[in-house]
A and B are shown apart, each in its own frame.
Chain A
Amino acid sequence: MRPFDYSRAADADTACTAACAPDAAFIAGGTNLIDLMKLEVLAPSALIDIGHLGLDQIEEQGDDLRIGATLTNAELAADHRVRRRWPVLSRALLAGASGQLRNKATTGGNLLQRTRCPYFYDTDTACNKRNPGTGCSAIGGEQRNHAILGTSEDCIALHASDMAVALRALDAKVEVRTAGGSQRRIDLADLYRLPGDTPHIETCLAPGDLITAVHLPAARGDRQQYRKVRDRASYAFALVSVAAVVGMKNGRIDHIALAFGGLGTLPWRDPDIEALLTGEVPRTALFERAADTLMRDAEPQDGTAFKVALGKRVLKAVLTEVTA
């Protein structure tokens, strides 16, 4: 690990200002950052510990919930309000990592976790995300935990978070505080950027931008599901996952939100699928069309070709169950 300065920020202002220094980084749970620093994939000059800013609260705002950025994934999954009213979020969190990791991992850190592309982790290989302009070793190399949607010629890395998939289906917003002290709220959809020819730029956040909370609006459907398919039964990243939030009325799909993990370069959502399903009576032929729509622009590699069939099957299974 390269040397760095460590400081524990006393308040959000100090934290944001300190994080504007060249190559400085916030550290929350550290479960992703320390991993990458050990391998020298990342070598921040300074770490600003945001674990003691009091951002670990969860509060009700009318029918909505405001989730602090440093609340642990374990506490969030176990929260009684989340379990009752946003079960898809609890389910997604509980499907991720391990008991130990969830006790450390935070809301903000989970959203901003880096890809698990093995070449990104291996500093002896070319990788546009780690070293812009060097090329992509995954394209033409070994692929498995890679994306097939939203990819570019320069990067096919997956966004690996389970939590973010549920949050996308729930129309979550992210509260950000800038170094100047101003606040803004952005749709989770707008937080992430497609790789394009700049895969090293993953979000719209600027240096010093601190995620302070995630805003969760009341869920629009009471039928919620998170289905994750992976290489082993537990403690593994998703090959494919689907988060579904559905409301039924008179035997028809009244509202539906679907988000996908394991497939996209960012937590994936496709309004065309939702438009196709809304107002319809659930039936197999309709679900087939939804699955085809999801994959219409898929660009798999040899190693990820299986995800086309798998993704379709998981979507159809989830739709069948959640509308039954």
Chain B
Amino acid sequence: MKLSFSVNGTPRTLDLDPRVTLLDALREHLQLTGSKKGCDHGQCGACTVIVGGRRINACLSLAMMHEGDEITTVEGLSGEGLSVLQQAFIEHDGFQCGYCTPGQLCSAQAMLDEVAEGWPSHVTEDLNAPAQLTQAELAERMSGNLCRCSCYPGINAAILQAAGTKAADPA
């Protein structure tokens, strides 16, 4: 089946079996191997990409479901140089093996937009107050991205620096 979508600003057309997931389309058919396959079942977040501004698990979506969509992968996060978020991950040692990192980056990038739009989270005390990016909020909002190297302190510090926020509650 024919499929056209935009990946990192470039229009792409593919001819795919309907069984191909968005993740496999990106990795195997477009050679964009930044997005990683950890579990292939929505349980780890390594495959996180941004579709129409929202983060999703590319492993639990069929490529065919994305006709006409605008997709951003980790390869599309940087412009001339690294993005503020990517730079912050380096400064704060936000990774060890790096396998979860593309997913962490895409997830964090879109998560910061959710916060800017005032979306609440499970740990938000007042559903109707503006969202604050505390350590607890960060842990909850990024819980869809696991890191087997447990680099969470570095990842959290990097995201907070990129958000230009100082954690309201330490620890």
Please report A residues at the B interface, Cβ cutoff 8 Å.
1, 3-6, 8, 27, 29-31, 34-35, 38, 47, 49, 51, 72, 74, 77-78, 80, 83-84, 87, 90-91, 94-95, 97-101, 103-104, 233-235
B66 to chain A: closest residue by CB: A51
Which residues on the A side are within 8 Å of B61 (C-beta)?
A: 30, 34, 104
With A35-B42, A38-B40 as contacts: A99 and B55 at CB distance below 8 Å: yes
Interface residues of chain B, those whose CB is within 8 Å of chain A, are 1, 17-19, 21, 40-42, 45, 48, 54-57, 60-62, 64-65, 67, 107, 111, 114, 117-122, 124, 127-128, 139-145
Contacts of B122 on A, CB cut-off 8 Å?
A: 91, 94-95, 234
Partner of B67, one of A8, A80, A100, A235: A8
Which of A1, A3, A90, A103 has most B Cβ within 10 Å?
Answer: A103
Q: Which 7 A-B pairs have the closest CB atoms?
A: A98-B144, A234-B143, A6-B18, A83-B127, A235-B143, A94-B122, A103-B54
Q: Do A90 and B120 touch (CB < 8 A)?
A: yes
When the two chains form their complex, are residues A94 and B65 in contact, meaning their CB atoms are under 8 A apart?
no
Contact B60 A94 (CB under 8 A): no
- Expressed in whole angstroms, the Cα–Cα distance for A3 and B48 within the complex equals 25
Identify 14 residue pairs between A and B in the complex whose beta-carbon atoms are under 8 Å apart, listed by A's number: A8-B67, A30-B65, A31-B57, A31-B60, A35-B41, A38-B40, A77-B119, A78-B119, A83-B120, A98-B143, A99-B142, A104-B56, A233-B139, A234-B140
Q: In the complex, what residues of B have CB within 8 A of residue A6's CB?
A: 1, 18, 62, 64
For A31, the closest partner residue in chain B by CB is B60
Residues of chain B within 8 A of A38, CB atoms compared = 40-41
- A34 / chain B contacts, CB cutoff of 8 Å: 21, 60-62
Q: How far is the CA of A3 from the CA of B18 in the complex (A)?
A: 8
Q: Are A74 and B41 in contact (CB under 8 A)?
A: no
Q: How far is the CA of A238 from the CA of B117 in the complex (A)?
A: 28
Distance to closest chain B CB from A16 (angstroms): 19
Contact B42 A31 (CB under 8 A): yes
Complex Cα distance A94/B42, Å? 17
Least Cβ–Cβ distance between B138 and chain A, in angstroms = 11
Closest beta carbon of chain A to B110's beta carbon, Å: 8
For B144, the chain A residues whose CB sits under 8 A away are: 97-101, 235
Closest chain-B Cβ to A62's Cβ sits at a distance in Å of: 22
Cβ contact within 8 Å between B120 and A77:
yes
